[in-house]
């Protein structure tokens, strides 16, 4: 396994022990910078019943660009925010612009390049069942964010976002496991990247049954994706 991939897994395993935002940023930075990431942030884009108003929880960001983004009201024209509400898998700035190309978006990203020196970013959407939409944004210069590294950055980013949000609201994880034994087994294999069919073959149950177990776990954990469910369960110590 590549060293940078292993570092991401080690970060995920120890993320829940972090109690200080500065330490969280330092350790996450050590994970993502070998991939060419220069700046990163954990953001909340919108809470249920509230207008879209992106806010940064923590990260290593270019303050000049953050202030410019807010002052110019770029949230109203940012194609990344639109894509964030429509896509659950990681996507790049370029992919967001290609979905809805506009001159105003081109101008905005031109300013990003001029101010920050970065020209591409990977956006990892974080959707939960309560309706909050969050994300982790990883940006750099000359970075391609190829498909083979996205799952690794996705996993590390979900942990980064989870801890950042816990530190922001003082959340204490539920110690008692609320998942069934089968749900735990299925989520363990999700972490290993197995499909529903593969998990069914391993456990000797049908693909449909695996799907139902994972969907039930997602409802219990109030998350939107199978990756988030497995990460949340692991963070709570339910997949040991």
CATH number at residue 25: 3.30.450.80
Q: Which residues pair with 91 in a beta bridge?
A: 123
112 in a structural domain = yes
Q: Containing domain of residue 225, as a range? A: 181-235
Contact 213, 180 (CB under 8 A): yes
Same domain? For 69 and 119 the reply is yes
Same domain, 15 and 121: yes
Same domain, 194 and 92: no
Q: Residue 114 phi/psi, 5° resolution?
A: -65, -40
Tens of pLDDT, residue by residue over 11-22, are: 988 888 898 999
User: What's the rounded Cα separation, in Å, for the pair 181 and 210?
Assistant: 12
Residue 62: inside a domain, yes or no? yes
Residues 54 and 146 in one domain: yes
Mean pLDDT of the chain: 89
Same domain, 149 and 221: no
Model pTM score: 0.73
What is the pLDDT at residue 96? 94
What confidence score (pLDDT) does residue 238 get? 82
d(CA 85, CA 240): 33
What average pLDDT does range 154-164 have in this prediction?
A: 93
Of the candidates 126, 148, 169, which is a domain's last residue? 169
Q: Which of 138, 169, 200 is the last residue of a domain?
A: 169
pLDDT at position 93 is: 95
Pair 165, 185 in one domain: no
Does residue 176 fall inside a structural domain? no
Assess whether 163 and 61 both reside in one domain: yes
Do 18 and 133 lie in one domain? The reply is: yes
175 pLDDT above the threshold of 60: no
Lowest mean pLDDT among 23-27, 148-152, 166-170, 223-227: 166-170
Per-residue pLDDT at 129 exceeds 70: no
Tokens for 6?
A: 């292993």
Does any domain span residue 240? no
C-beta atoms surrounding 54 within 10 Å:
22
Looking at the structure, tell me whether residues 118 and 143 fall in a common domain: yes
Residue 174 lies in a domain: no
Q: Terminus-to-terminus CA distance in the chain, angstroms?
A: 22
pLDDT tens, residue by residue, 60-109:
999 999 989 988 889 989 999 999 988 889 999 999 999 988 999 999 99
CA angle 97/99/195 to nearest 5° reads 110
Number of domains in the chain: 2
């Amino acid at each position: 396994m590549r060293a940078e991939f292993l570092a991401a897994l080690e970060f995920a395993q120890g993320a829940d022990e972090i109690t200080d935002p500065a330490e969280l940023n330092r350790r996450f930075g050590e994970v993502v910078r070998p991939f060419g990431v220069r700046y990163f942030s954990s953001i909340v884009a919108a809470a249920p019943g509230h207008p879209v108003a992106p806010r940064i929880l923590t990260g290593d960001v270019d303050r000049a660009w953050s202030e410019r983004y807010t002052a110019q009201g770029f949230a109203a024209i940012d194609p990344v925010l639109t894509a964030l509400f429509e896509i659950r898998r990681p996507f790049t700035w370029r992919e967001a612009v290609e979905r809805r190309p506009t001159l105003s978006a081109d101008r905005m990203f031109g300013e990003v390049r001029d101010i920050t020196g970065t020209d591409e970013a990977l956006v990892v959407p974080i959707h939960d069942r309560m309706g909050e939409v969050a994300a982790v944004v990883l940006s750099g210069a000359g970075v391609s964010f190829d498909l083979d590294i996205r799952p690794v950055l996705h996993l590390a980013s979900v942990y980064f976002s989870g801890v950042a949000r816990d530190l922001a609201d003082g959340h204490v994880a539920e110690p008692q496991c609320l998942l069934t034994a089968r749900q735990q087994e299925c989520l363990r294999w999700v972490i290993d990247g197995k499909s529903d069919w593969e998990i069914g073959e391993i456990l000797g149950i049908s693909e449909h049954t695996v799907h139902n177990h994972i969907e039930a776990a997602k409802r219990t954990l109030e998350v939107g994706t199978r990756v988030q469910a497995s990460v949340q369960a692991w963070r709570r110590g339910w997949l040991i």
